Amino acid sequence: MKVLVTGGAGFIGSNFIHYWLKNHPEDFIVNFDKLTYAGNLNNLKDIEGFKNYEFVKGDIGNIRDVKKAVKDVDIIVNFAAESHVDKSILDPAPFIITNVVGTQILLDAAKDTNVKRFHHISTDEVYGALNLNSTARFDEETAYRPNSPYAASKAASDHLVRAYHKTYNLPITITNCSNNFGPYQYPEKLISLTVTNILQGKKVPVYGDGLYVRDWLYVEDHCRAIDLVLQKGKLGETYCIGAENDVENLEVIKKILTILGKSEDEIEYVKDRPGHDRRYAIDGTKIKKELNFKPKFDFDEALTKTVEWYKKNRKWWEILKDDKFEKYYERQYVRR
């Protein structure tokens, strides 16, 4: 079977390719990626010589690129997206172009080539925010109420994918996941930024009061869940993927400081970002009942594994925190 992975040089996409080649060695993977700042072929250096792996540089927003990439493909797994909320606040346009228009172009190509499955990766952020003190959780029936340009662009792409199933009978599935963490995550997200800052002897920025709750999903568990959806998921259906690891951002940072033997003096409170959602939480009942999915990794165990990976792979992330990154960092994290 030939599998096209769009955005395969990114964080979750590259982890998925590693997972898929390990668990489905008989399949052929085509990694289709534009190689934006968050796309990194060093994520896949250990498999670049594999006979059942090919990298193709291209943009899902470019019709010619996409038509070439989808030729003779059985399955498309669409990770390609602009995904950083902070950057969507600074400049929404690239998020609309890639996440909405790019998805539409990819869907058209999939329709025209009769792929067996189009699987779309999305986020819990399309559902908006939950009250900090509530026990409510997002599920597949939750109404969409996105609060950031990023979340709005992903919500639009979800609607397009579902519409292509209803209108053209395209065989699709969608997954909406909670916050991922693990190896190869670009050092702009909470956990990767916290770990790398501490290892560099820098302060750790905390937005507002830090009491923002996220459901933390280890990336390997996410890849396993996608595998189950591709193997057993019902066409046209959406599956929410979470781990029920509801932890405040400030608590996550404190756990990392403890793992690295540092004190809370390393924390630096900064100006909050606009429209910051208080709480996300996923109800994974559907994927648990229908596909028997259960996260394999305990949060503290997975967090320790992640910290150790960044400690052992300094060369991988140090090159990413260059002058351009530092300029963005200074602009984004303003001391209160």
Q: Could you tell me if residue 153 is inside a domain?
A: yes
Instruction: Give me the CATH number covering residue 174.
Output: 3.40.50.720
Assess whether 269 carries a catalytic annotation. Answer: no
Residue 124 is a catalytic residue = yes
Is residue 330 one of the residues assigned to a domain? Answer: no
Q: What are phi and psi of 221, to 5 degrees?
A: -65, -40
User: Which is nearest to 157 in space by CA: 81, 68, 237?
Assistant: 81
Amino acid at 284: G
Asked if 127 and 138 touch (Cβ cutoff 8 Å), the reply is yes
Give me the catalytic one of 124, 188, 215, 283.
124
Is residue 6 classed as helix, strand or coil in its secondary structure?
strand
Residue 195 counted as domain residue: no
Give the position of tokens 């067996």: 116
pLDDT in tens, 93-112: 999 999 999 999 999 999 99
**Residue 51 lies inside a defined structural domain of this protein:** yes
Cβ atoms < 10 Å from Cβ of 262: 16
Q: Tens digits of per-residue pLDDT, 281-303? A: 999 999 999 999 999 999 999 99
Residue 177 maps to a domain: yes
Within 8 A by CB and 6+ apart from 214, the residues are 178, 179, 190, 246, 247, 249, 252, 279, 280
Sign for the CA dihedral angle at 209, 259, 310, 247 comes to: negative
| Torsion of the alpha carbons at 273, 220, 245 and 95, rounded to the nearest 10 | 20
Looking at the domain assignment, is residue 103 inside a domain?
yes
Residue 97 lies in a domain: yes
Q: What are phi and psi of 324, to 5 degrees?
A: -65, -40
What is each CA distance from 124 to 52, 144, 173, 283, in whole angstroms?
33, 9, 15, 10
Among the listed residues 125, 220, 221, 266, the single catalytic one is: 125
Q: Which one from 53, 150, 164, 212 is the annotated catalytic residue? A: 150
Q: Give the chain's mean pLDDT.
A: 96
Number of domains observed in the structure of the chain: 1
Question: 332 in a domain, yes or no?
Answer: no
Q: Burial of 190 by CB count in 10 Å (0-12 exposed, 13-18 middle, 19+ buried)?
A: buried
In sequence order, what are the residues at sequence separation of 6 or more whose Cβ sits closer than 8 angstroms to the Cβ of residue 69? 4, 6, 30, 32, 56, 58, 109
For residues 108 and 112, what is the distance between their CA atoms, to the nearest angstrom?
Answer: 6
| pTM (2 d.p.) | 0.96
Nearest to 60 by CA among 167, 159, 157, 164: 157
DSSP run (H or E) holding 28: strand 28-33
Q: Which residues of the chain carry a pLDDT beneath 70?
A: 336
Domain interval for residue 46: 2-181+217-241
Say how far apart CA 290 and CA 233 lie, in whole Å. 8
Active site residue 277: no
Q: How far apart are CA 59 and CA 316, in angstroms?
A: 24
Q: Within 10 A of 126 (CB to CB), how many other CB atoms are there?
A: 24
